[in-house]
């Protein structure tokens, strides 16, 4: 593992396995482009030869009124929660509450931010590394507090991620770039492994070629994808007129 300053993050060498936890702000992730994210891949990021997952919490909202009256919705919600539990996540549900103002307008609220923050702070005393999935800048103060307790905080987000949150974390990576975390449309069958998400580093339209940067998992396994984020392996793909770039 490499810190931003380039020095080895060698805590695991001194103390053994890094004790890792995952905290998912599911509602934020869903609304910002992470719908369909594979939670089993997240577990793989936390479990590696030098890291072990101790906690995995997913914070989400549930409309209990709709659950009672809508059988299709109830089936989907229960199936979703069962998948999370099978992946090893504890599901923390926040009930959707409805408020009506003087004009009869109804607003809904189901915010689990406080639950996530309190759980992370209480559990951090037994952790070395925290993987936080959110784009909400309100969690910046939590990130700083966890760092002050000695934890390394790694953030994964999708669209509309707070600039302050990205800069405050020990490392940040777009969830679109984590190999396998988000399905790629059109990538099916034997050719699926040949598709990569990445960013265009440089493109010269006059010469008809460019450079494409993407993350590659090392032979140490899937679990190092986030921890090795600062050791980004640059792969240069050169093609002429048929260059195809799959953007996140």
Q: For tokens 């090893």, what's the residue?
A: 88
pLDDT at res. 169? 98
Check residue 209 and give its pLDDT.
73
For 76, the 3-state DSSP assignment is helix
pLDDT value at residue 96: 74
What percent of the chain lies above the pLDDT cut of 70? 70
| pLDDT band, very low/low/confident/very high, at 197 (cuts 50, 70, 90) | confident
At residue 208, the pLDDT reads 76
Helix (H, G, I), strand (E, B) or coil at 72: helix
Give the per-residue pLDDT at 204: 79
Q: Do residues 215 and 177 lie in contact, with contact meaning Cβ atoms separated by under 8 Å?
A: yes
Q: Which residue has the tokens 């449309």?
A: 185
Sheet strands (E) in 166-217: 171-174, 199-204, 209-213
Please give the angle made by the CA atoms of 159, 129 and 95, to the nearest 5 degrees: 55
Mean pLDDT of 8-31: 79
* Residue 34 pLDDT exceeds 50: yes
Q: Whole-angstrom Cα distance, residue 18 to residue 130?
A: 10
pLDDT of the residue at 60:
93
CA atoms of 141 and 115, how far apart (whole Å) = 14
Cα 123 from Cα 90, distance rounded (Å): 14
82: pLDDT confidence band, cut at 50, 70 and 90? very high
The single residue listed with the structure tokens 């507090």 is 145
What does the alpha-carbon distance between residue 141 and residue 238 come to, in Å, rounded to a whole number? 43
For range 60-82, the mean pLDDT: 91
């Amino acid at each position: 593992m490499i810190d931003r300053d380039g020095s080895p993050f060698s805590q695991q060498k001194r103390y053994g396995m890094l004790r890792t936890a995952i905290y998912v702000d599911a509602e934020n992730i869903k609304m910002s482009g992470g719908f369909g994210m594979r939670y089993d891949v997240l577990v793989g990021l936390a479990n590696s030869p030098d890291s072990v997952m101790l906690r995995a919490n997913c914070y989400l909202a549930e409309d209990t009124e709709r659950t009672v009256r809508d059988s299709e919705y109830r089936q989907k919600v229960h199936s979703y929660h069962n998948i999370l539990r099978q992946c090893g996540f504890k599901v923390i549900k926040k009930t959707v509450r409805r408020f009506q103002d003087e004009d009869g307008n109804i607003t809904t609220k189901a915010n689990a931010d406080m639950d996530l923050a309190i759980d992370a702070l209480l559990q951090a005393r037994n952790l070395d590394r925290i993987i936080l999935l959110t784009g909400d800048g309100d969690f910046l103060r939590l990130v700083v507090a966890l760092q002050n307790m000695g934890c390394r905080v790694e953030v994964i987000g999708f669209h509309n991620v707070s600039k302050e949150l990205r800069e405050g974390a020990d490392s940040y990576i777009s969830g679109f770039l984590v190999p396998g975390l988000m399905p790629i449309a059109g990538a099916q069958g034997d050719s699926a492994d040949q598709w990569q998400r990445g960013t265009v580093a440089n493109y010269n339209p006059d010469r008809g070629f460019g450079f494409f940067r993407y993350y590659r998992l090392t032979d140490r396994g899937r679990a190092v994808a986030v921890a090795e984020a600062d050791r980004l392996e640059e792969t240069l793909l050169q093609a002429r007129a048929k260059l195809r770039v799959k953007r996140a």
